[in-house]
Structure 1
Amino acid sequence: MLFIVFQLGQDRYALDARELVEILPLAQVKQLPQAPPGIAGMLDYHGVALPVIDLSELALARTAAHRISTRILIVEIASGRRFALIAERANEMLHREVGDFAAAEVAVDAAPYLGPVTRDDRGIVQWITPQKLFSAAVLDALYHPVKEAA
């Protein structure tokens, strides 16, 4: 399997490349006032407004650094829903089989998206599961049809 590797702080994480639709350079995001933490706003993606999640803000309570290596990852989850992830230093690929990952042995209830871990010559890489980034209620709110004003 192929994974894209990115960083949250100094730690490395991986996302299954089969969930990726496209990798884009960091672009302007329309902000959403009073959005939940981690929701950076919306992005016009080929005429469709996609929710944008800032992984650094969600996990570390700080916005992603604006670097050349900060990317927008367009992701499609099993339900067919798409959203964009802002990921720092998303410029590395990793080949691993599912069996190369082992349970993390430490579970963080507030971060159910953190999956099993693998190692390489630079240390630990943890698998992120994007469909677990938010509760079903938050996902429904992100994709809830907007009602027209009367």
Structure 2
Amino acid sequence: MQILAFQLAEAAAALPTAVIRQVLPYLQLTRFPAAPAGVAGLMNLHGAAVPVVDITAMSGGRSARPRQDTRILLVDYLLSTPGGDSRPLGLVVEGVAGVRRVTATPPRPAGIPLPDYPWLGEVLETPEGLWLWLDLPRLLSPTLAALLFQEAA
């Protein structure tokens, strides 16, 4: 399995590379002062406004710091609409360590219920240790998804 490894607060975390369309440098974002926690802003991607969320802030921590290893992962976020449409979404992550090929069993429940963070309830067990596994389809609450992708609602 091929993953992109990064840091989530002080823990190792991963996403499968298959869900990542592009890895971008940390770009200038248009921020909104009244945005919900975790919403980093909008980025201009080839003339289109793409919403961006900050994974560290969404996990209850501080906002991601704009460091040399901070990146924006461009993913296609599957909407829960009848047509099953998807929209581009940026994910700000820190401490990107790169792509790794790991031998791993499928992600399994961590055993620690996190009702406020349903996207963060599994771990990937690898020879290097346990990695927090981000469940992309569960990342946005229905309310936040409706806010970020209003045209699709």
- Assess, with a 3 A threshold, how the Cα gap between structure 1 residues 60 and 122 changes in structure 2: closer, same or farther: farther
TM-score of the superposition, structure 1-length normalised? 0.87
SS of the residue 1:94 aligns to: strand
- Assess, with a 3 A threshold, how the Cα gap between structure 1 residues 99 and 42 changes in structure 2: closer, same or farther: same
How many Å separate the matches in 2 of 1:116 and 1:96?
17
| C-alpha displacement of 1:97 | 6.0
Q: Specify every segment of 5 or more residues in structure 1 that has no aligned partner in the other structure, as ranges.
A: 146-150
Q: Specify every segment of 5 or more residues in structure 2 that has no aligned partner in the other structure, as ranges.
A: 79-84
Aligned to 2:82: none
For 1:25-104, list aligned pairs within 5 A. Answer: 25-78=25-78, 79-96=85-102, 99-104=105-110
User: Please, which moves more after superposition, 116-125 or 39-48?
Assistant: 116-125
TM-score of the superposition, structure 2-length normalised? 0.85
| C-alpha displacement of 1:114 | 1.2
User: CA RMSD, aligned part only?
Assistant: 1.8
Amino acid at match of 2:2: L
Question: Does the 8 Å contact 1:5/1:90 carry over to 2?
Answer: yes
| C-alpha displacement of 1:111 | 0.4
- Assess, with a 3 A threshold, how the Cα gap between structure 1 residues 26 and 49 changes in structure 2: closer, same or farther: same
- Assess, with a 3 A threshold, how the Cα gap between structure 1 residues 68 and 62 changes in structure 2: closer, same or farther: same
Identity in percent:
29
| C-alpha displacement of 1:121 | 5.1
Residue 141 of structure 1, aligned match among 126, 137, 147: 147
Question: Does the 8 Å contact 2:29/2:42 carry over to 1?
Answer: yes
